Structure 1
Amino acid sequence: MTMAEKTSLMGQDWQGLLYSSGWRPGAGPLTVLEPATGQILVSVGLAGAAQVAAAAERAALAQPAWAALHPGARATILRRAADLLRQHQDEVAGWLVREGGSIQAKARLEPDHAVGFIEHAAAQALEPRGHVLPADPGTDSLAERVPLGVVGVISPFNFPLVLSLRAVAPALAAGNAVLLKPDPRTPVSGGLIIAKLFEAAGLPPGLLHVLPGHAEAGEELCTNPAIAMVSFTGSPRAGRRVGALCGENLKKVQLELGGKNPLIVLDDADPDLAAANAAWGAWLHQGQICMATGRILLQQKIADAVTDRLVERAKRLPVGDPHLNPDVALGPLITPQQVQRLDTIVQDSVKAGARLLAGGRINERFYAPTVLADVRPGMPAFNEELFGPVAVITTFQDDTEAVRLANATAYGLAGAVIGTDLTRARAVAAQIRVGHLHVNDQTVLADPAAPFGGFGQSGNGGRISGPANWDEFSTWRWSTVKTRPPAYPF
């Protein structure tokens, strides 16, 4: 018996279904494997190009009435969805563990974090949406935010619930209809659960479509003329394809991609606190986070003390199936292919001169927490986003070298600096080219009220969440009203 047959959110059976103006069969089955075991977890409905095109047509018909609805009514539905998620967060956490390989702590955190994104979007719906512009007497001149129409959302597997809802909720709040394509490895926790929440909250039909699928479905989102914008979170390789297709179709696109995020530890830092931050940033969710601490830059004076503490932590952290053992600190990687890719990068870096101080071991679908020291620019572990539990250590002599190493990357998502002298730490941090920056913390941070995004291979410069939501999910319209038409000379 699959997990879907045992229990499902508010009695919903996901078997063979997708959501598009109601629950309906897909073009075929989409089989989801449990990362920890490789066993079939559930089979949902698969969306192809035809299903996306039909959903886009339905969404375009439903959206004008939603946009015309009083913003308070939209906010009420969003708040209901948040309340339902809060009520069912234990069940949602179970899906995050089984479907995405989340450890229990991360699986409990994610629904709570997702509630925050929905509630922030509900508040967004009630914010002022424009300006009264200077005008001649007898003329009203207004600049107002208006919805784009139909928004496509393509979300990843690693934080499937949050990274879907952080786009879906504000897009709906702004008056848009939404087509969501969750990652095919996490279609329930990244999509179908969201459909059920909003259906139960009273969202009118046609405004949210959840379409689990592969590249064919994603390409239709990017090319279908009824879809005005695509919000994409994923790898730089896939992001380039999404950006190219949207550009060819003169479509707005928001890209949030990968990261190779530096954590600089200055020589006046507390070694214990520095190691705790580095371990959390590098190993949380097996390192499968775009904000993961991808490079730990240690000033020479403190390097041995922090490295020793990281090695000790790596050797004692339990690894295993978080569904069977709720006390494990690291669960499985998402696929066996990712395990092999990660190990190749680690071993190639060792061949290039890095020292393997802990980990570097494969156990079926699991990878031990790993510490690599003496990593230098040019090595695979320094250059490549790992998406695995590897603490990559590079040392530096002075602040100038720390900044140079931090910026020696094609990415620019997150960065952090740890040090006791706040004036010095802030001066170092200010020179790092990233979209979000933290002093005396690690790199894995997000907040519904804060804009999120990066530079270079981390994205196209757009932002999502907080004040950026109106920028992304609406556009400016200028309108004037005159008491009577002008008498033009011809």
Structure 2
Amino acid sequence: MSDTPIRLPDPARWHAKLFDGDWIEADATLTVIEPAAGTPLHTVGKADAAAVTRAVTQAREAQRAWAATPPRERAAVFHRAAALLEAQAPAVASLIARETGAILPKGEHEVREAIVLLQRAAAMPLQATGQVLPSPPGRLSLARRLPLGVVGVISPFNFPLVLSLRSVAPALAVGNAVVIKPDPRTPYAGGLAIAEVLSAAGLPKGLLHVLPGDAEAGQALVEAPGVPMIAFTGSTAAGRRIGELAGRHLKKVSLELGGKNSLIVLDDADLDQAVSAIAFGAYFHQGQICMATGRVLVQRRLAAALTERLAEKARQLPVGDPAKDTVALGPIIDRRQLDHVKAIVDDSVAAGAVLEAGGTHEGLFYAATVLSNVRPGMRAFDEEIFGPVANVIVFDDDDEAAALANSTDYGLSAGILSASVGRAMALGDKLHTGLLHINDQTVADEVVNPFGGTGSSGNGTSVGGPADWEQYTHWQWVTLKETPPSYPF
């Protein structure tokens, strides 16, 4: 670790480069476009399959020494990294916001959570790593957790720093090496920022590799023989392909995928609080969040008033370039995603949904949108939109609300708003979701807690908090005897 103060971020350090512990020239490059401005933001190295192969070989060699490093030395790396990131948080948050097309508070939130992830990683090497098991006299029987080896991390564009680091930090902390393939639209937030911080904090060379690239690099990482685990966060369609490919190679895989999440507003809920919660859950980061409120289920008595107030709220939310103006919504990440949002809204209106607000865009800036009269069978009801669209669905009683919320292959997050916690909990017990928030909206997560969904939202595992030990280690059974026993053979 150098004594020279390091500046973060430093694009000159990683311009046109990949990371293997050092910043290395790449054979190819990719240019990142700032979504809000539509102009080049920076240029990074682009990895191909050969780069992945080299990275995995180096990571396997470095991992053995890292796993044998004294726990306090491993912990110290993460303490230093957390302090460094905290000291330079404003500049890092600003570039993350620009790269992801986010308002600055979203970039600041990512950095705050990243600091907590690094602090938690610092604690892991000093925790107990096994159990003493029941055994006959004369034999000591142990179960201990060992690192897997090399963990491959493939992360998305929407919350790239958090969704990369939530795997990278604990995986490294328990003794693994890591190869990251961040989304090519957000390579700094999803990988290069992590490399900057951890390399400056003294992480040994070869343990962390950052390889921005396209599907070729991702497939090479999933297929690489020296990578026993893949941690993927992204779309359900991509997750299915990665799960199938990893299964053929008998790899452990963690799939954190999409959601079609319901916020249920019962007839005893406070209307103003409900409208505020819905707006945040549906529109924060332009709805480009797996936990976004994809369905607003409102009891009939409140439906008309809630829809009217929500539409008025949506019309008042400013949309624009977060780097230039104070806005609530920035741009959709790219044209392909905007076309996806627009097609779902247009098709749903054609099928009978009512456009109460929004439904328009200028360039990549899509207005906060409200659809009412949304019913099963419409694309707005069935599909994950990943855009700023609140879909209002009316129900009559709690059983119908549960049935509507459960009418999806997804199972990630749900929220229930009610003056009666007991009533809300009874309804919550009927919902098939990995996350349940009583008197809160669906975008409610902290990196210290287990996070995961079921069905099309993932493979039923969790990441974060106490779940990390289970994810990034494997059990080894060990027995010890003073002398070998005698056997009747």
TM bucket, shorter chain? over 0.9
- Equivalent residues in 2 for 1:49-60, closer than 5 Å: 49-60=49-60
In the alignment, the residues of structure 2 paired with residue 321 and residue 145 of structure 1 have an alpha-carbon distance, to the nearest angstrom, of 48
Q: Which moved more, 1:101-110 or 1:147-156?
A: 101-110
Query: Partner letter of residue 84 of structure 2?
Result: L
Q: Deviation at 1:20? A: 1.1
Q: Deviation at 1:21? A: 3.0
The aligned residue for residue 191 of structure 1 is 191
Tell me if the contact between 1:243 and 1:255 (Cα under 8 Å) persists in the aligned partners. yes
- Equivalent residues in 2 for 1:294-313, closer than 5 Å: 294-313=294-313
In the alignment, the residues of structure 1 paired with residue 124 and residue 298 of structure 2 have an alpha-carbon distance, to the nearest angstrom, of 41
User: Structure 2 vs 1, CA of residues 11 and 49 (structure 1 numbering), >3 Å: closer, same or farther?
Assistant: closer
Q: Deviation at 1:387? A: 0.5
The aligned residue for residue 22 of structure 2 is 22
The aligned residue for residue 376 of structure 2 is 377
Tell me if the contact between 1:164 and 1:191 (Cα under 8 Å) persists in the aligned partners. yes
The aligned residue for residue 243 of structure 1 is 243
Tell me if the contact between 2:195 and 2:208 (Cα under 8 Å) persists in the aligned partners. yes
The aligned residue for residue 42 of structure 1 is 42
**Alpha-carbon displacement from aligned partner over 1:34-66 (angstroms, at most 9, x marks no partner):** 111221111100011100110000000010111
Tell me if the contact between 2:52 and 2:220 (Cα under 8 Å) persists in the aligned partners. yes
The aligned residue for residue 3 of structure 1 is none
Query: Partner letter of residue 482 of structure 1?
Result: K
In the alignment, the residues of structure 2 paired with residue 437 and residue 121 of structure 1 have an alpha-carbon distance, to the nearest angstrom, of 26
Q: Which moved more, 1:265-274 or 1:70-79?
A: 70-79
In the alignment, the residues of structure 1 paired with residue 405 and residue 211 of structure 2 have an alpha-carbon distance, to the nearest angstrom, of 39
Q: SS of the counterpart of 2:298?
A: strand
> Unpaired runs of 5+ in structure 1?
1-6
Tell me if the contact between 2:372 and 2:391 (Cα under 8 Å) persists in the aligned partners. yes
Q: SS of the counterpart of 2:486?
A: coil
In the alignment, the residues of structure 1 paired with residue 386 and residue 465 of structure 2 have an alpha-carbon distance, to the nearest angstrom, of 26
Tell me if the contact between 1:27 and 1:51 (Cα under 8 Å) persists in the aligned partners. no
**Alpha-carbon displacement from aligned partner over 1:370-395 (angstroms, at most 9, x marks no partner):** 00001001100001100100011101
- Equivalent residues in 2 for 1:455-466, closer than 5 Å: 455-466=454-465
Query: Partner letter of residue 419 of structure 1?
Result: S
Query: Partner letter of residue 346 of structure 1?
Result: V
Q: Deviation at 1:270? A: 0.1
The aligned residue for residue 418 of structure 2 is 419
Q: Which moved more, 1:62-71 or 1:475-484?
A: 62-71
In the alignment, the residues of structure 2 paired with residue 142 and residue 229 of structure 1 have an alpha-carbon distance, to the nearest angstrom, of 24
In the alignment, the residues of structure 1 paired with residue 36 and residue 439 of structure 2 have an alpha-carbon distance, to the nearest angstrom, of 34
- Equivalent pairs, count: 483
In the alignment, the residues of structure 1 paired with residue 310 and residue 96 of structure 2 have an alpha-carbon distance, to the nearest angstrom, of 27
The aligned residue for residue 160 of structure 1 is 160
In the alignment, the residues of structure 2 paired with residue 464 and residue 58 of structure 1 have an alpha-carbon distance, to the nearest angstrom, of 26
Q: SS of the counterpart of 1:13?
A: helix
**Alpha-carbon displacement from aligned partner over 1:116-153 (angstroms, at most 9, x marks no partner):** 12212222222211110111222111001110000000
In the alignment, the residues of structure 1 paired with residue 59 and residue 224 of structure 2 have an alpha-carbon distance, to the nearest angstrom, of 12
Tell me if the contact between 2:8 and 2:196 (Cα under 8 Å) persists in the aligned partners. no
Query: Partner letter of residue 150 of structure 2?
Result: V
Tell me if the contact between 1:183 and 1:213 (Cα under 8 Å) persists in the aligned partners. yes
- Equivalent residues in 2 for 1:72-471, closer than 5 Å: 72-325=72-325, 327-471=326-470
- Equivalent residues in 2 for 1:470-489, closer than 5 Å: 470-489=469-488
Q: SS of the counterpart of 1:243?
A: helix
In the alignment, the residues of structure 1 paired with residue 278 and residue 41 of structure 2 have an alpha-carbon distance, to the nearest angstrom, of 33
Tell me if the contact between 1:183 and 1:212 (Cα under 8 Å) persists in the aligned partners. yes
Q: Deviation at 1:432? A: 0.6
Tell me if the contact between 2:103 and 2:327 (Cα under 8 Å) persists in the aligned partners. yes
The aligned residue for residue 3 of structure 2 is none
In the alignment, the residues of structure 1 paired with residue 178 and residue 297 of structure 2 have an alpha-carbon distance, to the nearest angstrom, of 41
Q: Deviation at 1:10? A: 5.3
The aligned residue for residue 4 of structure 2 is none
In the alignment, the residues of structure 1 paired with residue 96 and residue 198 of structure 2 have an alpha-carbon distance, to the nearest angstrom, of 19
Q: SS of the counterpart of 1:476?
A: strand
In the alignment, the residues of structure 2 paired with residue 254 and residue 275 of structure 1 have an alpha-carbon distance, to the nearest angstrom, of 35
Tell me if the contact between 2:13 and 2:23 (Cα under 8 Å) persists in the aligned partners. no
Query: Partner letter of residue 57 of structure 1?
Result: T
In the alignment, the residues of structure 1 paired with residue 385 and residue 466 of structure 2 have an alpha-carbon distance, to the nearest angstrom, of 31
Q: Which moved more, 1:65-74 or 1:215-224?
A: 65-74
Tell me if the contact between 2:376 and 2:382 (Cα under 8 Å) persists in the aligned partners. yes
Q: SS of the counterpart of 2:30?
A: strand
Tell me if the contact between 1:282 and 1:389 (Cα under 8 Å) persists in the aligned partners. yes
In the alignment, the residues of structure 2 paired with residue 190 and residue 204 of structure 1 have an alpha-carbon distance, to the nearest angstrom, of 20
- TM-score by length of structure 1 reads 0.97
Q: Deviation at 1:8? A: 5.2
Q: Deviation at 1:13? A: 2.3
In the alignment, the residues of structure 1 paired with residue 95 and residue 160 of structure 2 have an alpha-carbon distance, to the nearest angstrom, of 10
Query: Partner letter of residue 487 of structure 2?
Result: Y
Q: SS of the counterpart of 2:72?
A: helix
In the alignment, the residues of structure 1 paired with residue 21 and residue 51 of structure 2 have an alpha-carbon distance, to the nearest angstrom, of 11
Report the aligned-residue RMSD.
Answer: 1.1
**Alpha-carbon displacement from aligned partner over 1:296-341 (angstroms, at most 9, x marks no partner):** 000001112221221111111110000111x100000000121111
Q: Which moved more, 1:104-113 or 1:253-262?
A: 104-113
In the alignment, the residues of structure 1 paired with residue 440 and residue 8 of structure 2 have an alpha-carbon distance, to the nearest angstrom, of 37
- TM-score by length of structure 2 reads 0.97
